[in-house]
Amino acid sequence: MKQITIEDKTFKLKNIKQLYPAVLVKTGHGEETTEMSLEWIDIESKGRVVIAGYGLFIRIGDEEKHSFIYETRAELDQTIANLSEQLNKQ
């Protein structure tokens, strides 16, 4: 059965409803953050937001969500590269 592993969690591909990278930005309300697309950060943000971290998110069904949070874009990029390598082997 086809599956992927991120950090210490393994997911069956058939169960994944959505898998996406995003940037966590501070909303201005305490420590609250929200997800923004990497593209928006690269093109539109122009330094107007405070980046709190980077994440890779997996949705299983409508209610279950797994978040893998990284301090740097390089760490996120490495995780994506590892994920790509796993998918190319299948």
One digit per residue, the tens of pLDDT, for the chain of length 90 reads 699 999 999 999 999 999 999 999 999 898 899 999 999 998 988 878 999 999 999 999 888 999 999 999 999 999 999 999 999 987
Give the per-residue pLDDT at 44.
Answer: 84
Q: Which has the closest alpha carbon to 79: 55, 60, 46, 62?
A: 55
* Domain count across the chain: 1
Give the per-residue pLDDT at 1.
Answer: 64
Give the per-residue pLDDT at 83.
Answer: 95
Q: What is the pTM of this model?
A: 0.88
Residue ranges making up the domain that contains 52 = 3-89
